[in-house]
Amino acid sequence: MSGTSSSYDPVQVTPLGEEQVFAMRDAAVAAIAAAADLDQLKQVRSEHAGDRSPLALANREIGALPPQARKDAGMRVGQARAAVNEALAARTEVLEAEAEDRMLVEETVDVTLPWDRQPRGARHPITMMSDLVSDVFVAMGWEVAEGPLVEAEWLNFDALNLGPDHPARTMQDTFWTEPADNHVVLRTHTSPVQARTMLTREPPIYVVCPGRVFRTDEYDATHSPMFHQVEGLVVDEGITMAHLKGTLDHFAQAVFGEGITTRFRPSYFPFTEPSAEVDLVCFVCRGSGTLDGSTCRTCRGEGWIEWGGCGVVNPRVLVACGVDPERYTGFAFGMGIDRTLMFRHGVEDLRSFFEGDVRFSRAFGTEI
Ligand code: DAH
């Protein structure tokens, strides 16, 4: 190639020779192509096109070359820098477009999504049923009565004709509190509210009492150590079993619909005499036991559903609670609220009421 001359020192020219300049250019173009995103490209730009990049340094050296060499070297370096800038511009365009596409996907806002989905929560089905029951009776002029969950043994049992040795005591598996000689229990039924009411009010008494009760039951699909009952009590002059029957028929229809009446089966409770179990006409098959040709699942083909217990208040209870049995008579009844909800809504597992899953409550409606 060009021969040696006094004014053209090949040693000095070497860094700006074709090979070196092309190598710098190619390294830059390769690095640009390899940059995977705009951040990496920024780094590559400063390394290969910045003030301290090999090509920028080479450019600076041109001035120091002998005049004959300047033109060639200038052209080579200039072309190489132009190629690098072009590659940078092209890669920037590609990466910017990619970044934008990615942003459009990642930051997508679906404007068709509902914007007001703020769950309001839902009232618990047991609360709703307790209120419904209370409303039915309040509409007839009754009052809602309440009592404590932690109750005196005497009110939970003795006042209700369940003396210490009464065999029916063991039917209600009781949570006793310590110390035992305080004789305090977690109430095993809502019936002590009957005693409390009679002890604190003069007849006529018309009260309904929904509330929690406790028994040492296993926690399974049909039992729970805590569940809910509703108690009703009437004490007035001339009250008979007929009033009880009429009241329960009205109650049944208010909760289960027109035509859903009750029947009584003889039974025993210490606090009522006579006593009965109350059954309800099956509100699904309306007493036929069959539905569309097959056995009704709600009443299991019986046509009737067991609902609760009831009876005429035992005079011994009236006496224990300071009510004159010569002048007054009364009736009482008690039902399970959870149980009522279970068959009314086909809930198969009692535990669903106590697991706190708002989706379960919501299925009963979100009326406030
Ligand atoms: N206390 C009863 C129970 O828990 C239910 C009951 C039955 C209540 C008859 C009553 C009644 O008021 O008259 O099993």
Per-residue confidence (pLDDT) for residue 123, from 0 to 100: 85
Q: Is the pLDDT of residue 267 over 60?
A: yes
Domain that holds residue 16: 10-106
Q: Is residue 180 part of a domain?
A: yes
Q: 26 by DSSP, 3-state: which?
A: helix
User: Is residue 350 located within the same domain as residue 269?
Assistant: yes
Q: Is the pLDDT of residue 14 over 90?
A: no
- What is the number of the ligand 1 atom nearest to the C-alpha of 334? 8
- Ligand 1 contact, 311 CB (< 6 A): yes
Q: Is residue 177 part of a domain?
A: yes
Per-residue confidence at 366, pLDDT binned at 50, 70, 90? low
Give the amino acid at 5.
S
Per-residue confidence (pLDDT) for residue 364, from 0 to 100: 81
- Ligand 1 contact, 330 CB (< 6 A): no
Q: Is residue 294 part of a domain?
A: yes
Residues 334-341: what's their mean pLDDT? 97
Residues 141-146: what's their mean pLDDT? 98
- Ligand 1 contact, 156 CB (< 6 A): no
* Range of lowest pLDDT (12-16, 62-66, 176-180, 355-359): 12-16
61, 78, 106 - which closes a domain: 106
Per-residue confidence (pLDDT) for residue 15, from 0 to 100: 60
Per-residue confidence (pLDDT) for residue 13, from 0 to 100: 46
Q: Is residue 147 part of a domain?
A: yes
User: Is residue 177 located within the same domain as residue 267?
Assistant: yes
User: Is residue 239 located within the same domain as residue 332?
Assistant: yes
CATH code (residue 265): 3.30.930.10
User: Is residue 77 located within the same domain as residue 180?
Assistant: no
Per-residue confidence (pLDDT) for residue 330, from 0 to 100: 98
**How many angstroms separate the CA atoms of 346 and 298, rounded?**
7
Share of the chain above pLDDT 70, in %: 95
Per-residue confidence at 2, pLDDT binned at 50, 70, 90? very low
* Range of lowest pLDDT (6-10, 35-39, 61-65, 201-205): 6-10
Structure tokens at 362: 């919501």
Q: Is residue 47 part of a domain?
A: yes
Q: Is the pLDDT of residue 368 over 70?
A: no
User: Is residue 50 located within the same domain as residue 157?
Assistant: no
Tell me which range, 65-69, 105-109, 221-225, is most confidently predicted by mean pLDDT.
221-225
User: Is residue 77 located within the same domain as residue 147?
Assistant: no
Q: Is residue 336 part of a domain?
A: yes
Q: Is residue 257 part of a domain?
A: yes
**Angle CA(149)–CA(226)–CA(355) in degrees, nearest 5?**
130
Q: What residues pair up with 305 in beta bridges, in sequence order?
A: 280
User: Is residue 189 located within the same domain as residue 97?
Assistant: no
User: Is residue 184 located within the same domain as residue 69?
Assistant: no
Closest residue by Cα to residue 254 from 125, 137, 127: 137
- Ligand 1 contact, 309 CB (< 6 A): yes
Choose one of 155, 194, 271 to mutate for the ligand 1 pocket test, by most ligand atoms within 8 angstroms of C-beta. Answer: 271
- Separation of CA 194 and ligand 1 centre (Å): 10
Closest residue by Cα to residue 244 from 236, 302, 147, 141: 236
Q: In the predicted model, what is the mean pLDDT of the chain?
A: 91
User: Is residue 261 located within the same domain as residue 298?
Assistant: yes
**How many angstroms separate the CA atoms of 44 and 19, rounded?**
21
Q: Where are the beta strands (DSSP E) in 162-254?
A: 184-186, 205-214, 226-236
User: Is residue 100 located within the same domain as residue 148?
Assistant: no
**How many angstroms separate the CA atoms of 95 and 81, rounded?**
21
Structure tokens at 204: 């006529």
**How many angstroms separate the CA atoms of 263 and 278, rounded?**
6
Closest residue by Cα to residue 339 from 243, 186, 213: 213
User: Is residue 297 located within the same domain as residue 332?
Assistant: yes
Closest residue by Cα to residue 257 from 278, 241, 280: 280
Q: Which residues have C-beta within 8 Å of that of residue 102, sequence separation ≥ 6?
A: none
Residues 63-70: what's their mean pLDDT? 83
Closest residue by Cα to residue 278 from 336, 225, 223: 336
> Is 64:57 a contact under the CB 8 Å cutoff?
no
Q: Is residue 367 part of a domain?
A: no
Choose one of 269, 279, 313, 317 to mutate for the ligand 1 pocket test, by most ligand atoms within 8 angstroms of C-beta. Answer: 269
pTM: 0.70
49, 74, 106 - which closes a domain: 106
Q: How many Cβ atoms are within 10 Å of 345's Cβ, its own excluded?
A: 13
Indicate the number of domains in the chain. Answer: 2
Share of the chain above pLDDT 90, in %: 77
User: Is residue 68 located within the same domain as residue 200?
Assistant: no
- Separation of CA 85 and ligand 1 centre (Å): 93
Q: How far is CA 323 from CA 33, 235, 281, 316, in A?
A: 100, 9, 35, 10
- Model confidence pLDDT, tens digit, residues 292-303: 999 999 999 999
